[in-house]
A and B are shown apart, each in its own frame.
Chain A
């Protein structure tokens, strides 16, 4: 299905989901997901809120039992990993800290199970820029500081695989820029880095690969470059004389994006691909079609992302 999914043998750092499915009562939170996440790259795991990202990660981490399908790291399910903190570092969305514990103590609590000592706890605290705040109680940390502490926790055991759920939530622009460089450096060391987000623009400058899900289903998986090639500029035009505008679009041979919006009074709004607004405007003027709106819209990736998650999965999947 995807370039990644056909990889024959799994590296010990490859994350593999096979037909992963989770049903919560009437809700199919994750629906037949098959994905490979490769080492040495930052993969964006994207989808709107409620798409099933967190549930997918929780299944991968053995916290939630899949209804069906499998999830492995280097062909081993998380629950069977010996000293998992040295293989996978995971930070899940909800902040999971005891507010009365200091940042350093939080790390010291888990250090024995990561097989490291207090020195490493201090080291990762410095790595994420929390060194000076290590002696303060987590209850007084900002959301951004908690994100950094969560990241520090994932690094305790120096794992080759990092799974981060919405790590840029609560970070200020400077923090996001820092995170970007940090994740790129981790991937450059050959680690597998998976970052989830509900906004593509947030991770756009960080990721090499993108996996997009919507309503639990895979809608797109490719490199970011391939996704970018799918992003085409569009022009939205509307006219009170819908029939003549439709005629103009047909005669000009423009491809429309989505179905045209027809109003009861005969007005029409269309979106066309691959034509600059100036060309549409000139053609309408020449044909005497009265335009009430003419605008270039959604030329960027974000619009493409929104389209992907908005469309029925099988249609979008075909485009991938």
Chain B
């Protein structure tokens, strides 16, 4: 398993795509977070019930949180894609053949990919969260607003934001085993994360039973881990507790991986 893990890790870092994605994520998250930080201080993008204009009280901890966790809300597609690519590139370039020649135990291959996905996820989580929180805090500080960085709870939110993003990469590995066609997988990811889930959450948020369901959507579960959410604040839908969110999102990863194990990884390779 140790050798398989090192092989999986090297597979990722010997190609260029991962750092291109990481770079794009950093820039995108920093930009979004800066804009959000500015918006909340103007009262425009303030969460529900945030009429308080500029001035400490109005921005509040919740507003600062939705700025700092912007990576979990809008950036989770990046670790998700990186995790998915760990599997789909193997099928695209047929390197699944040498992979299974060097490690014929398919359970071990899958476990190593999930674990390596988690490692890459931590990298994306930490860097993405730092980019979002850094840019957000900078803008807040420049505007003379409290950054909340002196509060321990804010740091807890940041840590859990990184954790949520790390789990997203593992979900990506699971998704890749189910959907090995790279183009199809990326299209599904973009359609789901950028369109389907946001719309579902808004629509489901209109009814009380719908709210119960929407909390278990993967994006909502990811946000629950970090504890801050643009969507739930906007729709006024409460999230699951952090630990339940973690269980739900890990559950998605495991269910997808199990599905991939009995379909893709059971098939003949050739």
Identify the A interface with B (CB < 8 A): 54-55, 58, 61-65, 78-79, 81, 84-85, 90, 92, 94-102, 105-106, 108-110, 112-115, 153
In angstroms, Cα B101 to Cα A78, docked, is 9
CB of B7 within 8 A of CB of A98, answer: no
Q: Is the CB of B101 within 8 A of A85?
A: yes
23 A-B pairs within 8 Å (CB atoms) are namely A58-B270, A61-B104, A63-B101, A64-B270, A79-B105, A84-B103, A92-B270, A96-B94, A97-B93, A97-B95, A98-B93, A100-B16, A101-B14, A105-B10, A106-B14, A109-B7, A112-B2, A112-B4, A112-B6, A113-B4, A113-B102, A114-B102, A115-B3
Question: A-contacting residues of B (Cβ < 8 Å)?
Answer: 2-4, 6-7, 10-11, 14-17, 89, 93-98, 100-105, 268-270
* Inter-chain contact A63/B100, CB cutoff 8 Å: yes
Name the contact of A64 in the complex, choosing from B3, B4, B93, B268 (C-beta under 8 A): B268
Verify A58–B268 contact, CB threshold 8 A.
yes
A96 near B95: Cβ-Cβ < 8 Å: yes
- Supposing A96-B93, A97-B93 touch, asked if A62 and B102 sit within 8 A by C-beta, the answer is no
| Contact residues in A for B6 (Cβ distance below 8 Å) | 112
Bound together, the chains give a CA A179 to CA B97 distance in angstroms of 23
Contacts of A64 in B (CB 8 A): 268-270
Contacts of A94 in B (CB 8 A): 94, 97
Query: Whole-angstrom distance from the CB of B124 to the nearest CB of chain A?
Result: 19
User: By the criterion CB–CB under 8 Å, are A96 and B269 in contact?
Assistant: no
A96 to B89, CA, bound (A): 11
State the CA gap A62–B15 with chains docked (Å). Answer: 28
CB distance from A106 to the nearest CB of B (A): 8
Classify the secondary structure of B's interface with A. helix
Within the complex, the shortest CB–CB distance from B232 to chain A, in Å, comes to 39
| B96: chain A residues within 8 A (beta carbon) | 96
Closest Cβ–Cβ distance, residue B38 to chain A (whole Å): 39
Q: From A62, A96, A99, name the one whose CB has the most chain B CB atoms within 10 angstroms.
A: A96
For A106, list chain B residues within 8 Å (CB). 14
| Structural contact, B269 and A84, CB atoms closer than 8 A | no
Besides A84-B103, A110-B7, A110-B102, 6 more A-B contacts (Cβ < 8 Å) are A61-B104, A63-B270, A98-B11, A112-B4, A113-B103, A115-B3
Partner of A92 from the list B3, B11, B15, B97 (CB cut-off 8 Å) is B97
